[in-house]
Amino acid sequence: MKLKIKGLLLFVLISSCTSKKDILYMQDAESLNGKKLSYSNSTIQPNDILKITVESAVPEAALLYNKNFSQAVQNQNIQLLQLDGYLVSIKSTIIFPVLGEISTANKSTEQLAIDIKNLLKSGDQLNDASVNVRLINAKVTILGEVNQPGTYNFTEQNITVLQALGYANDLTINGKRDDVLITREVDGVRKITHIDLTSVEFMNSEFYFIKPNDVIVVNPNNPQVKRAGFIGDVGTVLTIASLVLSITILLSR
């Protein structure tokens, strides 16, 4: 009986151990050494907030096409800038000064800037316009087994999934690195995928670069799931096993 219980305890200890292959990121990183990156621009989505500025050789000529971003607001945080931005409607349109309603459907910020410039030129309003469009409410939500779950804003045109996880201060030791869930909604279509951070293969997928409004969920690993169950963690198992052993010894006398 004692031998069986010792064997059971040994099995529990072995099965609860986590190997390096479950913890280390990108274990085959050398295989992608020197590979060129392929950047892609996200298309503008409903509920995006855009900052659009129009400039001209004659500054006064462009005043009609710019919202009144005061110097005080420009020196404040991004939330205040968003209040004066262009909110994209559910129909994928914005209302632009003088030009009226403009479609943003299937356009990147660069493409929208070109469209506005062409509309100003074709309407004989500004022939030398310089237009800049920026998304100012890009965000990613990170949940699950990370040190600081939450929603994070970013201003870069392209960030990777690893950079996004860095905002959340990395995965906890209980995060399942080979099963990270990413959900994405673009142009009314939802995409869901699982990526494996222990291999560089995810760097070849469309989910390597984060798009605005992506949601990343880090699933718990098996030991964490077991700790959340009825039996609990290894310490609890050992306590129960010790109690069973004590009762067995008492009954065998």
| Angle in degrees, CA 212, 213, 218, rounded to 5 | 115
- Give the span between the Cα atoms of 207 and 150, in whole angstroms: 19
- Closest to 26 (Cα-Cα) out of 208, 214, 219, 218: 208
Task: Write down the pTM of the prediction.
Answer: 0.75
Exposed / middle / buried, residue 186 (Cβ in 10 Å: 0-12, 13-18, 19+):
middle
pLDDT digits (tens, 9 = 90+) for 84-141: 899 999 999 999 999 999 999 999 999 999 999 999 999 889 999 999 999 999 999 9
pLDDT (tens place) for every residue of the chain, 253 residues total: 555 544 544 444 444 455 566 678 777 766 667 677 778 789 999 999 999 999 999 999 999 999 865 444 445 567 777 788 999 999 999 999 999 999 999 999 999 999 999 999 998 899 999 999 999 999 999 999 999 999 999 989 889 999 999 999 999 999 999 999 999 999 889 999 999 999 999 999 999 999 999 999 999 987 655 555 545 555 665 666 666 666 666 666 6
Architecture of domain 20-40+139-220: Roll (3.10)
Instruction: Report the top-level CATH class of 49-135.
Output: alpha beta
Q: What residue ranges do the domains of the chain occupy?
A: 2-16+226-252, 20-40+139-220, 49-135
The Cβ of residue 229 has, within 10 Å, a number of other Cβ atoms equal to 9
